[in-house]
């Protein structure tokens, strides 16, 4: 049997990009992640453990466009870029 089983859904693969201090803290700049076909941006944030950064100003670009709607459903081959909160000073 090949690949993970997804009862009631199909798997999709998204490209995830991390920038700045976020890339440094995670130890990688990009990853390909298999998800259930009904996964939203919010679901991906939760899976990656980035929930606490949302309230601190985490920004997300989906397929090259900055979006504040984290309830958008991801598609196969989507590119999701996580832009860390900007600290002022």
Euclidean distance between CA atoms 47 and 54, whole angstroms: 13
From residue 55, give the alpha-carbon distance in Å to each of 9, 50, 58, 68, 85: 30, 10, 7, 12, 9
pLDDT at 17 over 60: yes
CATH number of 11-83: 3.10.20.30
Q: How confident is the model at residue 1 (pLDDT cuts 50, 70, 90)?
A: very low
Residue with tokens 């989507």: 78
Question: What pLDDT, on the 0 to 100 scale, is given for residue 25?
Answer: 86
pLDDT at 77 over 90: yes
pLDDT at 80 over 90: yes
Q: What is the dihedral of CA 18, 20, 25, 26, to 10 degrees?
A: 10
The predicted model gives 80-84 an average pLDDT of 94
Rounded-to-5 percentages of helix, strand, coil across the chain:
20, 35, 45
Question: What pLDDT, on the 0 to 100 scale, is given for residue 86?
Answer: 74
State the average pLDDT for the chain: 88
């Amino acid at each position: 049997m090949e690949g993970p089983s997804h009862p009631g859904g199909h798997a999709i693969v998204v490209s995830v990009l991390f920038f700045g201090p976020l890339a440094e803290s995670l130890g990688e700049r990009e990853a390909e992640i298999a998800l259930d076909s009904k996964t939203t941006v919010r679901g991906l944030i939760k899976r990656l453990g980035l929930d606490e950064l949302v309230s601190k100003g985490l920004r997300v670009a989906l397929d090259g466009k900055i979006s504040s709607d984290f309830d958008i459903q991801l598609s196969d081959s989507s590119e999701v870029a996580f832009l860390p909160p900007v600290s002022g000073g």
